[in-house]
Amino acid sequence: MSDFKRILIVRLSAIGDVVNVLPALSAIRKSYPAAYIAWLVEDRARDILCDNPDLNEIFVFPRKQWSKGIRSPLTFINTIKEAFTFFKKIRRTNFDLIIDFHGNLKSGLMTMLSGKCLKLGFDRESCKEWNYIFTNRHVHLENIRIHRVDKNLQLLKFLNIDTSNSNPQIFIPPQDKREVLDFLQQNYNNENPLIIIHPGTSIFGGYKRWSARNFATLACKLKEELNVSVIFTSGPTDIEVIKEIKTYMNNQKMILFSPKLKQLAEIISHADIFISGDTGPMHIASVMKRPIVAIFGPKDPVIYGPYAHGENLDKTNGTLYGLNTEPRVIRKELPCSPCRKRKCKEVTCINTISCDEVFDAVSELLSLQE
């Protein structure tokens, strides 16, 4: 294993994809405790990396700002100058290893602009958009249908890095911990099991979203039949979804928390069970080692589903520190699923999942915690 002193990780977005590289970051830091490790990331996923002691620096690519600036004749030149200065700063760090976990054209260009050194990425069959031409060391995946966490860890085997005991973490600032605790003290009696439901998705992920009526029906049924507390969480793009859920709540009180990203991670850490669709918060819940019920539609949960983390995790039965955390994935086995379509007339795969199916999975997980 070479003695790399300056290492750059390239994984630009989205939040869930960045979270899925955290196990690799942990493994790199354990193998190179004295190395200077930096991460090149887009602005929308930056916060998940802040305060992480495994990182020495975060280079934030201002995607929104530059995308807007490059389209206007008035700001085009200044945007190009900003980009030149940005990558000049990265090159001055003199990295001796760059690892491109993203594997597409955009990340390849950024890897190329970040310096001359050993650049590790996936080979032609394992990446997208000709990314492999921008890296000079390549890893071939014998099986591409593996979880994104495992795919990322495969890159490190080229470096002979031990990935068996990686311990990914999300670090929460004290202020965010206090604000979450204040919210829980006001809205949760600490006696009943706490179920957190995150019903939303990204703007582009609406096709993966279970219906508002189903989420409302599930929440009411959980409270009435299992005597649990339910808190909904939401992001900036979930306003309309939350409004619609409220209309179906049968006059039951809806407890809603609309947190910042780190506060979302913190409140998830208090959950006895976390319920969501195929979202970034689901991957955060995985890192926080919470029991998860994931509602999956078109995408392949083998690749994109919740991942069971933990050094002492026995994946044959999901036991971690005496708590059953093996994720439960609710999906339909259909001839057309999984698929990669973003538009579908019926979306049968997600629309035919019943409240009873999700309710039964939650009941089972709760019974295992007693």
Q: Of 138, 134, 101, 100, which is closest to residue 122 (Cα–Cα)?
A: 138
Query: For residues 13 and 41, what is the distance between their CA atoms, to the nearest angstrom?
Result: 7
pLDDT at 296 over 80: yes
Average pLDDT for residues 76-88, to the nearest whole number?
A: 96
Surface-to-core class of residue 359, CB atoms within 10 Å of its CB (0-12 exposed, 13-18 middle, 19+ buried): middle
How many helices (DSSP H) and strands (DSSP E) are in the chain?
Answer: 14, 14
Query: For residues 160 and 141, what is the distance between their CA atoms, to the nearest angstrom?
Result: 16
Query: Would the CATH topology of 6-157 be identical to that of 174-368?
Result: yes
> pLDDT, tens digit, for every residue of 192-225?
999 999 999 887 777 889 999 999 999 999 999 9
Specify the pLDDT at position 202.
Answer: 81
Q: What is the dihedral of CA 123, 124, 130, 133, to 10 degrees?
A: 50
Q: For all residues of the chain together, what is the average pLDDT?
A: 92
User: So where are the chain's domains?
Assistant: 6-157, 174-368
pLDDT at 179 over 50: yes
> pLDDT, tens digit, for every residue of 309-368?
764 344 433 333 334 467 899 999 999 989 988 788 788 999 999 999 999 999 999 998
| % pLDDT > 90, the chain | 83
**152, 101 contact by CB (below 8 A):** yes
Specify the pLDDT at position 55.
Answer: 98
Average pLDDT for residues 138-149, to the nearest whole number?
A: 94
For domain 174-368, which CATH number applies: 3.40.640.10, 3.40.50.2000, 3.40.50.10490, 3.40.50.300? 3.40.50.2000
Instruction: Output the DSSP codes for 194-227.
Output: EEEEE----GGGGGGPPPHHHHHHHHHHHHHHH-
How large is the angle between the packed helices 212-226 and 239-247, nearest 10 degrees? Answer: 60
Specify the pLDDT at position 1.
Answer: 60
Specify the pLDDT at position 310.
Answer: 63
Average pLDDT for residues 30-54, to the nearest whole number?
A: 96
> pLDDT, tens digit, for every residue of 247-293?
999 888 999 999 999 999 999 999 999 999 999 999 999 999 999 99
Specify the pLDDT at position 309.
Answer: 79
Average pLDDT for residues 47-59, to the nearest whole number?
A: 97
What CATH topology corresponds to 6-157?
A: Rossmann fold (3.40.50)
